[in-house]
Structure 1
Amino acid sequence: MTFEWRAMREADLPAVLALSVRVHPGFPEGEAMFRNRLSLFPAGCLVLCGGGEIGGYAVSHPIRRYAPPPLDAILPGLPEAADDYYLHDVALAPERRGRGHAASGIGRLLDLAARFETASLVSVYGTGPFWARFGFRPAEKDMRAKLAPYGEGAIYMLRRN
């Protein structure tokens, strides 16, 4: 079965939420957050789909640099003076990992990010080396207070575009 990234649809949200709960049990985010990001910036919301199954998702959108939204936050809108493209979450089901799907999805997100000076993300689960392969580096600014909800070892990373 072939899996490919496509635009997320509202009908995908229950499957996206179920996958989020499965891969991020320590970072609960509700369907309202996913619905919010899909309505605010649909171009940055993708699903990895194959055979009617959702094997991954990506949520991303413009922000002000060093101002990632809190987990599960509902945003009233996107900042007019956005200068950074935030990769809020890229998640794959364990059985879809190791097949190049993450790289192809991240490539699509980085194409969107190209119009901004930087792209950013919060690395969790020790994934800093993975993100470094795409040019992300730990930010020099102290972000400990903002990253506290992500737990020990969370790293705010930036990539110059």
Structure 2
Amino acid sequence: MSVDGAPVAADWRGMVPSDTAAVVSLADRVHPTFHEDEAVFRDRLSLFPDGSLVLAAPGGGLAAYAIAYPVRRFVPPPLDTVLGRLPEGADALYIHDVAVAPEWRGRGLAEPAIERLLALAEPFGAAVLVSVYGTPPFWARHGFRPVEDEALTSKLASYGEDAVFMLRETMKEG
């Protein structure tokens, strides 16, 4: 569905295996210096389907995608790595990416996906992410704060020099 030729934010849906090639194509456009193989996206989809979302673009392709999955709080996975399994003792939901195609930015399209991912984070007690491309102010609007910890420096190396590890505490159920 679209309004005035634009995707509708409410139309986010669960990713399916046939979406992964389009996700890689959009990821390569949005993150030209951080290529990840299609196997990475298939891995995340198979491990935690609830955290894999897409938003169709009018006329075909994708306007956006979002990927999140459980992790241990201060152990962000290296980029372009197939996990194979989720870690035992996961205590956070890792927001791997929320990417909107450049031509669709500025329309609030990411908000519903972020809300869905943050709801998934509730049982873990936290959501974490690695902010790149100067996006900490965007994530701060969603309640994330930077975490300064020397132990994270080597873990963030694959994300580039401007990478910032960010955390958002949630109200843990129970």
How many angstroms does 1:80 deviate by? 2.4
1:65 aligns with 2:99: no
The separation in 2 between residues aligned to 1:38 and 1:69, in whole angstroms, is: 15
1:152 is aligned, of 151, 156, 161, to 161
Aligned to 1:110: 118
Residue in 2 aligned with 1:5? 12
RMSD over aligned Cα atoms: 1.0
Is contact 2:40–2:81 with CA below 8 Å preserved after alignment? yes
Matched letter for residue 89 of structure 1: D
> CA–CA distance in 2 between the matches of 1:109 and 1:67?
19
Q: Aligned equivalents of 1:70 and 1:135: distance in 2?
A: 24
Matching of residue 24 in structure 1 with residue 31 in structure 2: yes
Task: Choose the corresponding residue for 1:96, options 96, 104, 115.
Answer: 104
The TM-score normalised by the length of structure 2 is 0.89
Match of 1:38 among 34, 37, 45: 45
Contact 2:76 2:156 in 1 (8 A): no
Q: CA deviation at 1:76?
A: 2.1
1:121 maps onto 2:129 in alignment? yes
* TM-score, scaled relative to structure 1: 0.96
User: Is the contact between residue 130 and residue 163 of structure 2 (CA under 8 Å) also seen in structure 1?
Assistant: yes
Deviation at 1:70, TM superposition (A): 0.6
Report Cα offsets for 1:99-121 as digits up to 9, x if no partner. 11111110110010111111100
Quick one: distance in 2 between partners of 1:28 and 1:131?
22
Larger radius of gyration: 2
Q: Distance in 2 between matches of 1:131 and 1:107?
A: 12
Question: Which residue of structure 2 aligns with residue 136 of structure 1?
Answer: 144
Q: Could you tell me which of 83, 87, 99 is aligned with 1:75?
A: 83
Quick one: distance in 2 between partners of 1:76 and 1:101?
Answer: 30
Q: Deviations over 1:78-113 (max 9, x none)?
A: 112110110001101011111111111101100101
Task: Give the letter aligned to residue 36 of structure 1.
Answer: D
Q: Secondary structure at the match of 2:35?
A: coil
